[in-house]
Structure 1
Amino acid sequence: MEAEEYALMDAAEDRMWWYRALHALVLRALARTPFPPGLPLLDAGCGTGGLLRRIARAMAEGALPARPLAGFDIATEAIRRARAKVPEARLLLATVNDLPFAQKSLGAVVSLDVLCHRAVDERRALAEFRRVLAPGGVLVLNMPAHQWLFSAHDRRVHTRERYSRPLLRARLEAAGFRVAELLHWNSLLFPLMVVQRRLLSRGGGGAASPQGRSDVALFPPPIEAMFRTIAAAERGLIALGVRFPLGGSLLAVAVKP
């Protein structure tokens, strides 16, 4: 990503409704999907460390079983910021194309909006995830949804493509994973996302250009609170078994047989 994008992420990921909703969904997935005890959990492409800090807190509170934490990112700036947030985690400079972990050494891998990056060899990265996971290990992915929503923000963060549910399932299964869950989220607010990315960006300059304004920005507190409430209601519906046909992102939970 652009260097300034890491600064935006660092400032927003603890408070911005989107990050809070995503992290809550990841914690839910980890809590309800058994995977080998004791083995480390890796955040592959950990950015500035917000998710690892949420996972560490959940372990301290007993919401998740305690286990070693690890993370890596391709950017020195991201690792510097992550180390300040999660000093107890093993944090490295690395790439998903070549994981610095031994075969069958990890219990879980989480990777959020990384495989879609233009610098990633997706097939190789999925093979690497499968290699480092122990049998029964869990892979949790978040991916941007719907190629027709490709926008200035995607260009800014170097997104290669956005995904459909059948495409993501097919690629996970081709890599040797069993898909346990695959769902759209950011669905109740999806109409606003469409308006922002497909209609307002047509106004001619800024938002439609590669240098357009990033989507990573806090809204005024009342709007943040409203969006957090809507996202929480959506998670409640997901917990009840509701599955949405559309959404801004896809969350996948896959298991290594």
Structure 2
Amino acid sequence: MEVAHLHELSELEQTYWWHIAKRELVTHWLQEHVPAPARVIEGGIGSAGNLLAFQDRGYDVAGLDIMPEAVAYGKERGIEDVHVHDLGQPWPFEADSADAVVLLDVIEHVEDPIAVLEHAARVLKPEGKLLLTVPAYQWLFGTWDEALGHYRRYTSRRLEQQTVAAGFQTLQLTHWNSFTLPAAVGVRTWQKLCPQRKSAEFPRVSPLVNQLLLGCASFERACSRFVNIPCGLSVAGVFSKRAIPADVNRNLSRSISSVERGSHGH
């Protein structure tokens, strides 16, 4: 993430519908699957808005981010246990010490997502929970993704393959943000027909539209309690750490990693 995008994030995350809706979805899942008090580690903290929300609900929180500016934001906002760290390297926490790990729109930014997921699994307690969101559909990959430094977009199957390889089992897997998919398809098609400069700015909306989109997200979240949302701009899920034989895990990780390396051509 560029520093300018981090500054934009810090300004928007408390008011912009997309940030609020995603945080409400994940907070609901966290409270459902890992009730407070519990230890929660977030990888890729951004400007620490999620950690603050979790802390306000009684969780003991910690976080990692490769950007010193992001960690500085976290400390300024009262989150002490945040550290500058590359998620692709072993995490600086004891094994089996966390009840939940949260990775929101993170693993699409790394070349080896399975390594990151394996580090997350190591710090989780037995049957600890992993909460994930990723952007959906490789065919939507465009200048927005390039500006944000994405390696890939996801299908549910691709995400499940990677989490299984890292030692997780799926508890819940669904799409999110279905209601803006038609508009996104139109915008991405136009961008491919008429290439423009790379930009990672969130499209501005009026206060009325912002509230309307929040209402759509709330309705979708209510529906997802009963059915999996079949399409949407993101894939979201809850996964549980599981014990699998080391040789099986290693062979599966190697197989999927080789496929990932072959698909990095955006």
Does the alignment reach a TM-score above 0.5? yes
Residue of structure 2 aligned with 1:256, choices 241, 246, 249: 241
Output the CA distance in 2 between the equivalents of 1:70 and 1:34.
15
Return closer, same or farther for 1:145/1:227 CA change in 2, 3 Å cut-off.
same
Output the CA distance in 2 between the equivalents of 1:23 and 1:203.
33
Residue of structure 2 aligned with 1:82, choices 74, 85, 89: 74
**Map 1:1-257 → 2, pairs under 5 A:** 1-34=1-34, 39-57=38-56, 59=57, 66-85=58-77, 87-98=78-89, 99-118=91-110, 120-199=111-190, 201-202=191-192, 204-206=194-196, 209=197, 211-212=198-199, 214-239=200-225, 241-257=226-242
Asked if the contact 2:34/2:99 (under 8 Å) is kept, the reply is no
1:193 aligns to what SS in structure 2? Answer: helix
Asked if the contact 1:38/1:107 (under 8 Å) is kept, the reply is no
1:72 aligns to what SS in structure 2? Answer: strand
Give the 4+ runs in structure 1 shifted more than 3 A: none
Asked if the contact 1:68/1:89 (under 8 Å) is kept, the reply is no
State the shift of 1:222 in Å: 1.4
Output the CA distance in 2 between the equivalents of 1:71 and 1:135.
20
Unaligned runs of 5+ in 1: 60-65
Output the CA distance in 2 between the equivalents of 1:27 and 1:250.
16
Q: Which has the higher contact order (CA 8 A, sep 6+)?
A: 1
Aligned length: 241
Output the CA distance in 2 between the equivalents of 1:146 and 1:45.
22
Asked if the contact 1:9/1:48 (under 8 Å) is kept, the reply is yes
Asked if the contact 2:169/2:239 (under 8 Å) is kept, the reply is yes
Return closer, same or farther for 1:147/1:104 CA change in 2, 3 Å cut-off.
same
State the shift of 1:38 in Å: 5.3
Return closer, same or farther for 1:80/1:11 CA change in 2, 3 Å cut-off.
same
Q: Deviations over 1:102-128 (max 9, x none)?
A: 11111110011111114x421211111
State the shift of 1:88 in Å: 3.7
Output the CA distance in 2 between the equivalents of 1:111 and 1:125.
10
Output the CA distance in 1 between the equivalents of 2:65 and 2:10.
14
Output the CA distance in 2 between the equivalents of 1:178 and 1:146.
22
Q: Deviations over 1:77-102 (max 9, x none)?
A: 111222223x1441110121121111
Q: Deviations over 1:163-219 (max 9, x none)?
A: 1011111111121111100100101221111112223x145342xx3x33x242441
- Percentage of identical aligned residues: 29
